[in-house]
Amino acid sequence: MSQRSEHIGLHLNAYLCAHSTPPDAILRELAHETAEWFPNERSLAIAPEQGTFMTMVAQLIGARTGLEIGTFTGYSSICLARGLAAGGHLLCCDISDEWTSVARKYWDRAGLAPLIELRLGPALDTVRALPPGPQFDIAFIDAPGYVPYWNEVVPRVRPGGVILVDNTFSHGRVIDAGNESEIVQAVRDFNDRAAADDRVDVVMLPLGDGLTVARKK
């Protein structure tokens, strides 16, 4: 996998990875196939060390139910599903049948297909159609439009549950005062919104392209 934690140097990142549990053969093959089939979108995949962290978070909180917004080819969903307790369920939302066809193949290979439900279509519509109360132990948001997703997801995560949000550094552009692009401003708006939300405790980590971790109070 070409993805890595961007905001530390190459040598320190290599040291970090060398001292973290590495991805197994299934995840390595998935990363290779993703890079081969979707070279222009390969940056959508998460870093391997982030995947290890996500599995660990799900295990640490004893998660049984999970929600993923933005599945791509399935790397992050495998990491989340592997962290769920026995009998767990992960709901994945994406708009691409092409990308998620790869995910389905690797869910089968990983023995996780019975745990994962995929709903194709606009993720915001999918989430809004769910019951409004707490029903998820862990959620991962990895798709543009963070504030609307956040507004729908937070009420549906149980107290003590965790919400993970990807790409919250926007490749370092969030601190570039001269960058006023719509994409970057949307990330800034989300970061401000999450930091000010008194329903959660929040920390931003320099994993991947910035990973926000929020714990529901």
Would you tell me the crossing angle of helices 48-60 and 10-18 to the nearest 10 degrees? 40
pTM: 0.95
Quick: pLDDT tens for 192-210.
Answer: 999 999 999 999 999 999 9
**Residue 84 and residue 115 in contact, taking contact as beta carbons nearer than 8 Å:** yes
Please state whether 5 falls in left (phi above 0), alpha (psi between -120 and 50) or beta: beta
Mean pLDDT computed over every residue of the chain: 95
Instruction: Give mean pLDDT, residues 158-162.
Output: 98
Instruction: Give mean pLDDT, residues 11-38.
Output: 94
Taken in order of first residue, the domains within the chain and their CATH numbers are 10-216 (3.40.50.150)
